[in-house]
Amino acid sequence: RKEVEQDPGPFNVPEGATVAFNCTYSNSASQSFFWYRQDCRKEPKLLMSVYSSGNEDGRFTAQLNRASQYISLLIRDSKLSDSATYLCVVNLVAGRRALTFGSGTRLQVQP
């Protein structure tokens, strides 16, 4: 079992749609959670951190469910520019500060 698992997709959605991605992680002691975005052949960039109470940044909402060990990302009103791969990232080991990345979920927003 992978330490951080994501559905690879691709998710093909029309502009304006709402889309949600889930990610599960294996270590219940994990401390920190993030969503990164990666455009084709580019480096990953932080989209948002995920906090225990859930958090929102514009059209993006991230949630954490510690009991079930998953995090989610909701994108509302999808734009063409949202097309990218979304990486679920977890700080699995307390104190080591090494991040573990999921394989990514590819999103394609179509006109």
Partner 1 sequence: NAGVTQTPKFQVLKTGQSMTLQCAQDMNHEYMSWYRQDPGMGLRLIHYSVGAGITDQGEVPNGYNVSRSTTEDFPLRLLSAAPSQTSVYFCASRGRRGGSSTDTQYFGPGTRLTVL
By CB under 8 A, what part of segment 38-57 binds partner 1?
Answer: 41-46, 49
Q: For residues 40 and 84, what is the distance between their CA atoms, to the nearest angstrom?
A: 7
Residue 104 binds partner 1 (CB under 8 A): yes
CB of 81 to partner 1, least distance (A): 20
Between the CA of residue 88 and those of 15, 19, 21, 23, 102, what are the distances in Å?
23, 15, 9, 6, 5
By C-alpha distance, which of 30, 23, 28 is closest to 7? 23
# residues contacting partner 1 (CB under 8 A):
24
CB of 67 to partner 1, least distance (A): 20
Q: For residues 27 and 29, what is the distance between their CA atoms, to the nearest angstrom?
A: 5
Residue 98 binds partner 1 (CB under 8 A): yes
Summarize as ranges the residues that interact with partner 1 (CB under 8 A). 4, 8, 31-32, 34, 41-46, 49, 87, 89, 91, 94, 97-104
